Amino acid sequence: MNDQFLQNAFLFRQPILNRRQELAGYQLSFHGGQDVNDDDDDAGYRGAGAPLCAAYSELGLYSALGKTCAYIGVDGDFLHQKAIELLPPQGVVLELLLDGVPERTTLVRCRALLQRGYSLALSDYQGIDERSRPLLPLVSVIKIDLRHADQLCLEELAGPLRQLPIKLLAQGVASHEQMERCRNLGFALFQGRYFAQAEIVSGRRLSAAHATLIRLSNLVGRDVDTAVIEDAFKHEPALTLNLLRIVNSVGRLGNRSTQPVTSLRHAITLLGRRQLQRWLSLLLLAPTNNGNDSLDPTRSPLLQVAALRGRMMELLVAVGKPGELKLADLAFITGILSMMPAALGLPIEEILDQIAVEREVSDALRQHEGLLGTILALLECFDNDDAACCDKLLSRLPGPYDRQTLNTGLSAALSWLNSSGDDE
């Protein structure tokens, strides 16, 4: 049953961010399966706890998600099944999808799960009523859907909960302005892809830091002597120190050398131009510190989405074109660059006028042309939870592509993203 379900449904995920706008988890849901009505907004979400549990174990999502956790919807029936206890308590939040007043057996079961170390969340919160009142002492997260609550209603819902040891999660956040309003009301968690909806302004000037990264990336991407790249890095001491730190870390993990790498030329040669260009491209997506020295750029949702998309593109190209390493490299760069408009606030056409890329990459980013363009369009639909669009594009790809290909590719990409880097 598990294999069949993975073949017949898409495993979608929505990012969940904390107050510092760092990635805190993913809402997981299944959509588009044979038993799912795609016309329903909640299709594939309610009652999908059992398949999600199976997929979570089968795809190795616990290790793949790393520091983040998975929010998994659990309806009244699945809540009482023993299979739920196969989920790792520290890796998931069980989101209660309960209609009406909870029965005594439901409350007993929730207390038992709490004793086992599980965290509970309450979805579709409509205020303190007969449904929510007995659950408030048991849950650590309450989800409020912004699509069903205006500003006044939102204040009325959030206000009475501020004094409770409960985190408020705003679901369906569509913009930074909406996130800020919720943040001011005391919300601690925010679900949605608003972080990738930056304002695009033609002709906007790049910051000095971004301009430097683009200049270095262009040098690395062209067939210039290593000495030229070395000289360019020498004018950027902060980048040089970071580069040496990364190469030394990779060297220790891979046991390539017992001696630290202190030469810039040695570092460039050891890391290789392929990895160096990837690193520079990802730095373009890293968040601005804004004086917050404790900000962890690796938890940046935009950077995570870009790296995840790049890796998934690389893996999907290998499905249809195994052994074509150059095309796989171009696929990774395409995935990263596709998030640049959100990071830099510029149209992709203006970005590509400044960054030297292969024609296949340019065509994919500008018009979704070629194999890379089709895969990029597929992953954009996948990120938007659009099952019908995913099916249409999967049918256009030459090779053994299906829904399970996307699900397993997502798991493998997440695992790579959250690994220590010793397998790359």
Fold of 2-196: TIM Barrel (3.20.20)
| 226 CB-near residues (< 8 Å, 6+ apart) | 265, 268, 269
- CA-nearest of 18, 60, 14 to 418 is 60
Residue 382 main-chain phi, psi, to 5 deg: -60, -40
Q: What is the pTM of this model?
A: 0.83
Contact predicate 208/33, CB 8 Å: no
* C-alpha Rg value of the chain to the nearest Å: 23
Taking the C-alpha atoms of residue 154 and residue 348, their distance in angstroms, rounded to an integer, is 36
Q: Would you place residue 39 in the very low, low, confident or very high pLDDT band (cuts 50, 70, 90)?
A: very low
| Model confidence at 204: pLDDT above 60 | yes
Taking the C-alpha atoms of residue 208 and residue 172, their distance in angstroms, rounded to an integer, is 35
Domain ranges of the chain: 2-196, 209-276, 297-417
Tens digit of pLDDT for each residue in 169-197?
Answer: 999 999 999 999 999 999 999 999 898 87
| Residue that wins the pLDDT comparison between 306 and 258 | 306
Q: What is the 3-state secondary structure (H, E, C) of 328-378?
A: HHHHHHHHHHCCHHHHHCCCHHHHHCCCCCCHHHHHHHHHCCHHHHHHHHH
- pLDDT in the model for residue 68: 83
Tens digit of pLDDT for each residue in 99-134?
Answer: 899 999 999 999 999 999 999 999 999 999 999 999
Contact predicate 324/375, CB 8 Å: no
Q: Which of 24-33, 44-53, 335-344, 398-407 has the lowest mean pLDDT?
A: 44-53
Q: What is the 3-state secondary structure (H, E, C) of the chain?
A: CHHHHHHHCEEEEEEEECCCCCEEEEEEEEECCCCCCCCCCCCCCCCCHHHHHHHHHHCCHHHHCCCCEEEEEEEHHHHCCHHHHHCCHHHEEEEEECCCCCCHHHHHHHHHHHHCCCEEEECCCCCCCCCCHHHCCCCCEEEEEHHHCCHHHHHHHHHHHCCCCCEEEEECCCCHHHHHHHHHCCCCEEECCHHHCCCCCCCCCCCHHHHHHHHHHHHHHCCCCHHHHHHHHHCCHHHHHHHHHHHHHHHHHHCCCCCCCCCHHHHHHHHCHHHHHHHHHHHCCCCCCCCCCCCCHHHCHHHHHHHHHHHHHHHHHHHHCCCCHHHHHHHHHHHHHCCHHHHHCCCHHHHHCCCCCCHHHHHHHHHCCHHHHHHHHHHHHHHCCCHHHHHHHHHHCCCCCCHHHHHHHHHHHHHHHCCCCCCC
Q: Positive or negative, the Cα torsion across 66, 67, 72, 78?
A: positive
Tens digit of pLDDT for each residue in 142-178?
Answer: 999 998 887 768 899 999 998 899 999 999 999 999 9
Q: What is the dihedral of CA 401, 405, 407, 412, to 10 degrees?
A: -140
| Residue that wins the pLDDT comparison between 7 and 91 | 91
Q: Would you place residue 1 in the very low, low, confident or very high pLDDT band (cuts 50, 70, 90)?
A: very low
